[in-house]
Chains A and B, each alone.
Chain A
Amino acid sequence: MAEPDLELISTINEIDDQSFLSLCFGPSVSTRTWLLNNAEKFQLRPSLLFTVFLGFTKDPYPYVRKAALDGLSSLGNNVFEDGSMIEGCYCRAIELLNDMEDCVRSAAIRVVITWGLMLAAHSPERKQQLFDEIFVNLCSMTRDMNMKVRVNAFDAIRRLEIVSEDLLLQSVSKRVLSIFKGKKSLVQCSTDQLELLALNVAGAFVHGIEDEFYQVRRSACDALFNLIILSTKFAGEALSLLMDMLNDDSVSVRLQALETLHHMAMSNCLKLQEAHMHMDESDVLSVLFHMGQNHLNMVDCIIKDVSEQIDPKSEGKLEFDSVKVIAYIVLAISALASDNHTLRIPPRIFSYAATLLGRISHALGDIMDQSTIFAYLLHNSKHIGLSDLGFNSEGVSCSATCGSSVNDIPAIASLKIPAMIHEQQQKDDDAIESVKTILLKVQDIWPLIQSGVLHEALRTLRFCKEALGVFTYGTNKYNGALAFTLQYLKILKLVAKVWSLMSSKRSYPRRTGEWGFLLGKLERGLKELRSRFTGLTKEEEQHILELMLVTCILRLSNGEVCCHLTALRKLSTIASNIQHLLKEECKEPSTFVCEVQRSLSNLGTITPKSLCSSLDLREMLKSFTLGHLEISEELKHIKAELVISDNNYEKPLYFVPGLPVGIPCQIILHNVPSERKLWFRITMDNVTSQFVFLDFLSLGGCDEVREFMYTVPFYRTPKASSFIARICIGLECWFENAEVNERRGGPKCDLAYICKEKEVYLSMIHKG
């Protein structure tokens, strides 16, 4: 009855028993199927419907059989008093489990379970035997080739209440169990048929949870719901299957498995063994730690019960091999991290925990770091002398860390979870302290550079860099300052290298290639240092500018005539910049700056030829000394993350030559102030670049982090079957004018690139 048709409905109402029957028995198969499918809509006697449905389960047309079976399933709600009727229907459905057609087998399963349950209710004395029989028949259907049949079979098994233990155990083993081989089993059946029955049941659930379709796996998990309560042995076997399902790909299967496990736990038959734990040890420990914090009383009870198990058995040697013991220990130490001091956890457990520091700290890495845990453990086990334990502090090899932690004990003694935030704070402070120390120390290298001891200078710089490397990126509040300092160290290294190249007499004529390369790197580095950090103080800026002056002079001293003019122009710009800054601050310029300014004013009109002679570059450089850089803690590092997902040489973006192509980019911007301008640079062949303005303000987010998708148009697609474009994001440097890009409507100033260059694979679209 697909469409509600008033006329049709009125006609339907006129159909009585007699006309229904005569239509059903007519030769038209489609009419018959339709009538059977819609039989419930007519006001017919259930006994008549039963007769008709049961009769038509013999029809040669599968869809008629299916409709008849469906009709029988829905009749299951009515009460039939006649046992032979119920049995007749049930037996007919069992026969149809072997039908050739998938849809008939599916429908037959529903009738078997519905009428089988009715039959069991009607004759309770046969209940056990009937349930076993139904179980065997349904299990044999779980190996059907049709997915829906299998789902229906498991859904039907879910409705069974009692099944013999032997059959249950057989259903989780693919091999025929010995109980079925000859020996009399609990299952009521002749011995000859026993093995055949066992074959039908064998491994039904194993196959079910291995099934390709998640629908079947989910149903199989669900089917265990009632059965697991029936036998502890079966519950144990079923548990192994369910634990595997916790790693399933499908969420619905995992949920169903959990639900069944939950039911198991609620019915007191969940006996988890170590073998069932397929989770990573650290995951388990971390979960236990969290649980312990939230359920203090539980921890108290458990530890009281199991403290003997925790204690090592053999004298003197601590061997906590069992994951279970480690789990108890973690549970125990989790408690004291909470407020409740009334708990009585034996201090020795903390000392046991100390021996397992490596494993525990690995598991609790997201909560506290190793030294914190160690300090905490030591503090709580202080009643026992450490020497008594003779422990070998696994994983704590660094004496410095160890020492400092022990010293810190008073500070960490009243440790709570919020205190870990304090710990982070402490770490941050450590970081900024060492940054300051390093900046103080680094100015000592200047005399080394000047005196030509390049080796020594570089070594000092390397030490500084390594010292900073201890502080990890990412979690630190002073990331900006750290990044700045690292960049600064890199620049000093370059300055040192260039300086030594300049002053080395032997290698004259200078290795211009290397010289130019290093200078270029130095200039770029300085540009980044100046433009990629926000919150620079005037001092910092002045310091950078002075270094830029040095770089300019170094470039001039190279003797390459062609670039003198630009370098000189740059020199005077920077010098005036410094002057401007100093004026604002009302400070005196350094001797170096004075020297430069004097030389520049002496120069008057600049001619390239007169340049080298008129400027005493050496003198100027000699007057430079590296001052102490006071770093601001508020520095922010401007950076970007650029991802072009789903693009590689096998999966290129398609384009039509001559027409623009859109490159979908996933972008995260960090600390980009709203007044700054960002550009995409897309290069195709290392020569030509195209710039696209990125109007990030319209895309929302705050200055700290902006995350968005952006499709970058690339206009100049070549007549090539495929090519690689390189794309990256550049930040416009407000202080330097661009020299090349103006004509194409690109950025007005030079760009400092704030992300790694990405490759984009493009391929010409093929016609047809």
Chain B
Amino acid sequence: MAIDCLVLGAGQEVGKSCVVVTINGKRIMFDCGMHLGYVDHRRYPDFSRISASHDYNNVLSCIIITHFHLDHIGALPYFTEVCGYNGPIYMTYPTMALAPITLEDYRKVMVDRRGEAEQFTNDHIMECLKKVVPVDLKQTIQVDEDLQIRAYYAGHVLGAAMFYAKVGDAAMVYTGDYNMTPDRHLGAAQIDRMQLDLLITESTYATTIRDSKYAREREFLKAVHNCLASGGKVLIPTFALGRAQELCVLLDDYWERMNLKFPIYVSAGLTVQANMYYKMLISWTSQKVKETYTTRNAFDFKNVQKFDRSMIDAPGPCVLFATPGMISSGFSLEVFKRWAPSKLNLITLPGYCVAGTVGHKLMSGKPTKIDLDKVTQIDVQCQVHQLAFSPHTDSKGIMDLVKFLSPKHVILVHGEKPKMAVLKERIHSELGIPCHDPANNETVSISSTLSVKAEASSMFIQSCSTPNFKFLKRNLIDPDLKDLSYKAERTSNMLIRECSNPHFKHLKRNLDAKFDSSLSCGPALQVSDDRVNEGILVMENGKKTKALHQDELLLLLGQQEHEVRFAHCRPIYFGSLDEIHVMDSLSRKSLWLSQLSFKLSTELSDRNVQNLGEYLQVESITLSICSKENCPYRTIDRIKNESTAMVFCCCSWLVADEILAWKIISILEKHDLGST
């Protein structure tokens, strides 16, 4: 079976995240975003590729939305209300709460301000959200009989989640956007280690490695404090949700610590409303916020006040948060116009600004004049500080996550093409995991774990439930033999692995390398427990698949077991014949055997020497008195000294006990010499 992964958006680009994954016959759409850079048909994913007949309800099992950002949810009302998808939609509770706000805000900007034709109405948004099933973190949802999904905390933004999906034994994780280092107001991503066939991860910062966040915070605080101390005003254009809260918490803490009295203002509207949501959704925030919650809600900012439009020209230093983040329009632009001409003031810029916005112009070089339109020109004298607080993980974080989850395949989305290529190569070379970075509308097929229902024999079950560990003590004296035993074990390990998968070959190569390295400095004592390895899967035409214990196999096949044994026959001296010739041959044999048994037990204290009457047994080695005239294993044909009791002793053993066997033989030789 295979997992087919059709990338409808965010393939080698950032924007309109949308991946349709088919696992063992179930089809899931992860995210349904829009591209903010386009206004034509390219703004939405090309849904017709899912189903040419637009029969989405029968084709898709469900839609999963990771978080409320427009590039992850923007196309959802269009897809459900205009394209007519009616099936279930899953998202976390906070995403469900915040999604209508961002969607409606976007719709208003598009329709009211830019005068575009409406893609979807407010009613569409509301209708669309009625189809949503909210989920909690780590809550396992059974979408249908075969499909299971589960959300994990992703950091990034309030309510962001990674989603795990499993059909049969094939399992995968879609990360959405995530952050591997904690913010002040949000935690770091958190997920369990699982057997995964596929990991689809974002790669916004595929090559960036960030410094300690403390240094970045310090730099920001220093810039703000210096500006205020010299009487300037600080304008922080941000989006209403996310960075605004992060910076508010940061500044509020700093104000508290330094006992500062400068006012911090938040422009009314969305931010105030957003702060309220954060206050309610405490359980989705960072550990620190949760810990202090019992005494104080961290979003009850002590130093933050609402801003009134009339205060723009009020004298004195202050900090102001204003939307939108890229100073493209609205209040932040209005304030920018007034504050930019003063050298004392400071403007901070978010990490990313769309081309064409004032923010983008400020980022590219340090202009002294900005032409807003044909008649308006802004004189820019103020200081500019670039914020370095991104809610996306850096490349080390991506590598850490991939390493931790160790999936069989990785697909990169949501990033820039050249950078993704670098990361792809690193994942392949450093972690040995095949990695893909498909472009939009490309499909990647990977083989998935095949699940087969099989009956198990009672012997197999018995063997599985009973511990059966063995210690393997490697003898370091003979490197050749050590190598031999090693190879034997490795092949047996390898046999159970299915080799049809190309990834396995890679794994095998890796394993080989590992074995080789451990061979040089590996431990002398190793433990193994092979109860599952002893199982054998039997698939016969027309019969039910069965798992058997390896001992049952011969029975099933009606075959005899063949063993390759080594044998050696040599004479041993047992004192004078006179003392014992009175005895019959049988009791003479048992006397010799018990003598040998005693001798071996004392020499090999750590081995279990068993006297079984007819022969002695140590591990696979058997030792018996040979009464044959012409034993084929004999190296010395006749007994030289007739007067002494020289008896032929025949040993046989399996290859695994080669070393021990020769040790025993040498003991026997000593026995011979010692008694002369």
| A contact set with B: CB distance below 8 Å | 24-27, 29, 32, 51, 54-60, 84-85, 87-92, 100-102, 143-145, 174-175, 193, 195-196, 199, 202-203, 206-207, 209-214, 241, 244, 247, 249, 278, 280, 650
Contacts and interface: CB of A to CB of B under 8 A. Distances in A.
A27 B466 contact: yes
B287 A213 contact: yes
Contacts of A241: 212
Main secondary structure of the interface of B (DSSP, over half): mixed
A60 B465 CA distance: 9
A87 B523 contact: yes
Nearest to A207: B181
B314 interface: no
Contacts of B524: 84, 87-88
B466 A91 contact: no
A88 B465 CA distance: 25
A687 B211 CA distance: 62
B396 A92 contact: no
A100 B187 CA distance: 23
12 contacts: A29-B465, A58-B527, A60-B531, A84-B525, A87-B524, A88-B471, A88-B527, A92-B526, A174-B210, A209-B212, A210-B212, A278-B218
Given A59-B467, A145-B190, A174 B211 contact: yes
A247 B286 CA distance: 18
Interface stretch (B5-13, B191-199, B451-459, B646-654): B191-199
A358 to B, nearest CB: 13
B309 interface: no
Contacts of B191: 145
B126 interface: no
A359 to B, nearest CB: 12
Interface of B: 181-182, 187-195, 209-215, 218, 253, 257-258, 276, 279, 286-288, 291-292, 394, 396, 399-400, 403-404, 430, 462, 464-467, 469, 471, 473, 517-518, 522-529, 531-532
Contacts of A91: 518, 522-523, 526
Contact of A244 (B190, B214, B430, B517): B214
Given A55-B469, A174-B396, A88 B212 contact: no
Candidate in A90, A209, A212, A213 with the most chain B CB atoms within 10 angstroms: A212
B467 A56 contact: yes
Contacts of A101: 193
A90 B396 contact: no
A59 B467 CA distance: 7
A143 B471 contact: no
Given A91-B523, A143-B400, A32 B467 contact: yes
A59 B528 CA distance: 9
A210 B213 contact: yes
A154 to B, nearest CB: 16
Given A210-B181, A278-B218, A90 B523 contact: yes
Nearest to A193: B517
A469 to B, nearest CB: 19
A305 B23 CA distance: 75
Given A55-B467, A84-B523, A143-B404, 9 more contacts: A24-B467, A27-B465, A58-B469, A89-B525, A101-B193, A143-B403, A145-B191, A174-B210, A211-B182
A199 B467 CA distance: 37
Contacts of A211: 182, 188
B181 A145 contact: no
Given A55-B527, A196-B430, A249-B288, A202 B404 contact: no
A88 B287 contact: no
A32 B471 CA distance: 19
Contacts of A195: 430
A145 B404 contact: yes
B469 A88 contact: no
3 closest A-B pairs by beta carbon, nearest first, are: A88-B525, A58-B529, A212-B182
Contacts of A58: 469, 527-529
A25 B467 contact: yes
B212 A85 contact: no
A334 B504 CA distance: 73
A85 B525 contact: yes
A89 B467 CA distance: 18
Contacts of B430: 195-196, 199
Given A56-B467, A203-B396, A212 B286 contact: yes
A650 B462 CA distance: 64
A60 B192 CA distance: 18
Contacts of B218: 278
Contact of A212 (B209, B214, B288): B288
